[in-house]
Chain A
């Protein structure tokens, strides 16, 4: 089966660092995505990991360990505009199609 877990809510202070964890179990892993979603808007692509290790992109970094079924999204120098939901999604190639299976999302609140 498929299962993706991430914390429901997190809070952090402006300027700080926050790490959002995601654990997953899928039948045919073919990459992990992180998306940011502000209320009332569509998800915005942040990162993609398919190999183990850290991918850095500006203030955002994403890490993957395939053997542990684990990923995290690291947000540095937090800004108020980073308050949003962060969605972990695993690409599952079961059935021959590369479809994304989403976790429930983590609502991040950044306060002054």
Chain B
């Protein structure tokens, strides 16, 4: 299984500011995904981070609000821009396709964001 780390683990931010979350994987992976989990709810996919091209966003999520970088096969960042209290959530990085296997998908420890 892949070992995934995220930074920061948690943060408290002011309305109108931006936060960049980092995701680092210990092996090269084809696909990286960013999810959001709002309090008491399940996971919602924000976007698929593609190496060498723009991210693919799900309905309801836009690049201006959630810009994503994927500079190489082991790293990605998600920025939450112009934050509001509604963005308070856990943001999770997920990877799949490690070692060519598509029967696994793992999650990082998450970043717990509180917006005041």
Contacts and interface: CB of A to CB of B under 8 A. Distances in A.
> Does A associate with B in a complex?
yes
A70 B27 CA distance: 33
B45 A100 contact: yes
A43 B96 CA distance: 14
Given A87-B42, A97-B31, A104-B41, A31 B48 contact: no
Classify chain A: how many residues form its interface, as a range: 20 to 34
Nearest to B108: A42
A33 interface: yes
B83 to A, nearest CB: 21
B109 interface: yes
A100 B42 contact: no
User: Does more than half of chain B's interface fall in helix, strand or loop, or is it mixed?
Assistant: strand
Contact of A45 (B1, B45, B102, B110): B1
B92 interface: yes
B24 to A, nearest CB: 15
Interface string B18-54: 0000000000000101000000011111001000000
A34 to B, nearest CB: 11
Interface in A78-112: 87, 89, 91, 95, 97-105
Nearest to A103: B42
Interface of A: 31, 33, 35, 41-45, 48, 50, 87, 89, 91, 95, 97-105
